[in-house]
Structure formats: C-alpha cells, structure tokens
Structure 1
C-alpha cells in the first residue's frame, strides 16, 4: 500500500492555512502547517516532505529565502503562493528553484489540482492516477495540430506558443518568458500582443477539442497548459 504524500504548508494567514489543510486531507494527502519561515528547515529535516506550499511573504524568513535554503540540500517540489505579482519576484523564484506559482486569490480546489499536477510531473504518475488527457500531435512543418481525428492549422506564433506550453504541462510561463522564447530577434513586444495570440490560439483549440480547456490564465503570473474538462474548469473558477 502506497503511503500518503506529505505536503508542508508554510503560510502565516491562519484561516487560509486551515482551509488548505482541510482540502488536502480530503484529497488524500497528509498536510502539516508552519507559519514562520525560520521554522521550515528544522521541521523539514526531521520529517518526510513530498511537496512544499510556500507563501512568499512570511515572518522570520521570506519564501524566496526559504526556497534558496531548501535548494542547498533538497530537490523537493515547491509551489509558491503569492499576492505579489511583480515580474522580478516570479522570475527570481524560478531561478532559485520554485516549480510553480499560485497567485492569490485562488480556489483551494485549484491548489489541490496543481499539487497533484506538480507531483505527477516531478515524481512520475502512478498507474492508478488519472493521466493528463488530450494528447496532441504537433507538426512543426505545417503548423498543424491534430487530436481525436480532428485537425487545426495555426499561425507560426500560435504554434510556437502552444509548443512551449505543451512541452511542460502545468508549468506557468510569464508573458516575458513567452516573449523571450518566441521572439529571438529581441524585437519589442507588449504583453497585450501575447494575450491576443493566446486568445486566438484558445479559440482554435476549442474548435479542435470543444470538451476541454487546454490553456489557462493564471492571474498576475501568465499562462499554463493543463487539460481540464470545461465542467472542472468552471468548478475551479
């Protein structure tokens, strides 16, 4: 019998931490809560941890400081929780080793879904876990995408955006990161341009797979590829 996964919640908002604990327990996880960043390393070294939900703004030591300290000796997946949407915080967090971001306000059910997705990506899915649906066939020569016997043709930029997101399911890409990966000639491109391309890409993907929502906006952070049924997407919104 497989042991339950252990999730460490580091959050100084008591009500929010308790809600996350309850939802994680209901989803079959063990969860423990700490409120001070300075308490993380001592507790971490004495207990098994499969994933850390880590608030950015903490007493004692910030989420970025905690991430940097943990990465000196551990590769445990870290999902940062933040109400700060400045680009520098997100990029610095990724450079230090955070695996994903969730921006406040959020649905606790979304947090559980993201925890499962990061664990699946970093530790490998178990046979009894539901795999991500919607396997797409991407043809870089024709910019065509095929799924379930249907086909849609994208523009060059739309295809590159989809390719970047599709290669790393559930990872959040900021608009700046997408611009850097798509436009190699260092042209000046606004966030609004990326938003416009994503909007058109989503419409085409909806024509391809109307039952699924494939690309999701993450408030204040960017976009991620994570196939969900539209009913689940509505429940999490």
Structure 2
C-alpha cells in the first residue's frame, strides 16, 4: 500500500526504496515525487512493463536504477549493494552540528553544549549514525552496521550497552540530557528538540 508506506517513511528512514510502477492508489512515479520532496533516499524501480519511456521517466524523476521483471535476485542484490555503497557519505569527512551537538567524523570527537564528550570510536559512530537521521528510529542492526567494520558476530544487545554509556557521558556534562530515546523492541532515536 503506497499511501501507508509514505506515511511510515519518515519514521522508518530506510536506506533504499524499491518501487513498482503499477501500484494500487498511486503510481511508482507519484510515490517517487512525494519522496523527493523531502528525501534523497536511493530508489530502485521494478516493473513488468517493457517500455523504454517508463524507464527514462523513472530515471529522470530521480530514480537510481530500473529492473524489468522477471529479474535475477542476485542482480537485484548486486545493484542495491552498489547503490548503497555510492550513497553512503564518507565517514571521515563528516561534520554534524545542530541544536548544541557537534560531531566530527574525521577527528572522532563529540561536543554537547560546547563541552567535549569523551566517546569511544564505536560510540562516536553510533552518535554519527543517529545524528544523520535525527528524529528517526534506527534499529540495533542499523546502528551495528554503521558502527562496526565486521558486524557478523556482534550481539544486537551490545548497542544497548553503548547507548547506556553514551547517555551517561552526556549526563556527566548535562544532567538534564534526554536526547537519545528508545522505542521498546524497535531501536533508538536522537531527539534534541
């Protein structure tokens, strides 16, 4: 249901969106236009239509790739991985600054209200991931993926321990800090409002 997906888009904050041209209620092109009004999330079109005009239209409107059905699942996965590689910002040149929070991805430093917060590299990467999508709930798996080079053997509950330490370090500087909230059973959100 495209309308329900659009309603949940901001809350879920996906890394990539897959659309079909023909969907009930809205076309894939209409969904893409609505997404592009607020986001540059990568979009892959899948379609059974064999019309070059549709492919051109999808790409011109901001789609990132286009696959015709039937398609190879291996090919789809390879294209998704390539798009995600290109769409991920380089970690080492990120500077994030808003609402009293300053993060430097190159120096791996963090400041809150002008005061330095001494975070480990993993804690800093978790904060960078949360700060890139403020207000969005990110799952433990999303945080692990961005914070660990090799995330195959990381227990998702390890994120809970990191978040607990991050919160405490922020509260050492600002006892009223409550900017990292949890959504039980789902994940964590950075909310500095």
Query: Normalised by the size of structure 2, how large is the TM-score?
Result: 0.50
In structure 2, what is the equivalent of residue 192 of structure 1?
A: 157
1:192 offset after TM fit, Å? 1.4
Q: Is the 8 A contact 1:142 1:153 kept in 2?
A: no
- Structure 2 runs not aligned, ≥5 long: 10-18, 36-42, 45-97
- Decide whether aligned partners of structure 1 residues 134 and 208 sit closer, same or farther in structure 2, where only a CA change above 3 A counts: farther
In structure 2, what is the equivalent of residue 99 of structure 1?
A: none
Q: Is the 8 A contact 2:112 2:170 kept in 1?
A: no
C-alpha separation in 2, matches of 1:211 and 1:221: 24
RMSD: 3.7
C-alpha separation in 1, matches of 2:186 and 2:118: 28
- Structure 1 runs not aligned, ≥5 long: 1-36, 42-50, 55-64, 78-94, 97-132, 229-237
1:211 offset after TM fit, Å? 3.0
In structure 2, what is the equivalent of residue 173 of structure 1?
A: 138
Query: Normalised by the size of structure 1, how large is the TM-score?
Result: 0.42
C-alpha separation in 1, matches of 2:28 and 2:104: 40
1:72-91 map, 5 Å: 72-73=28-29, 74-75=31-32, 76=34
Q: Give the aligned length.
A: 121
In structure 1, what is the equivalent of residue 102 of structure 2?
A: 137
1:53 offset after TM fit, Å? 6.1
1:226 offset after TM fit, Å? 1.0
Alignment counterpart, residue 188 of structure 2, candidates 223, 230, 234 = 223
4+ aligned runs moved over 4 Å, structure 1: none
C-alpha separation in 2, matches of 1:147 and 1:178: 21
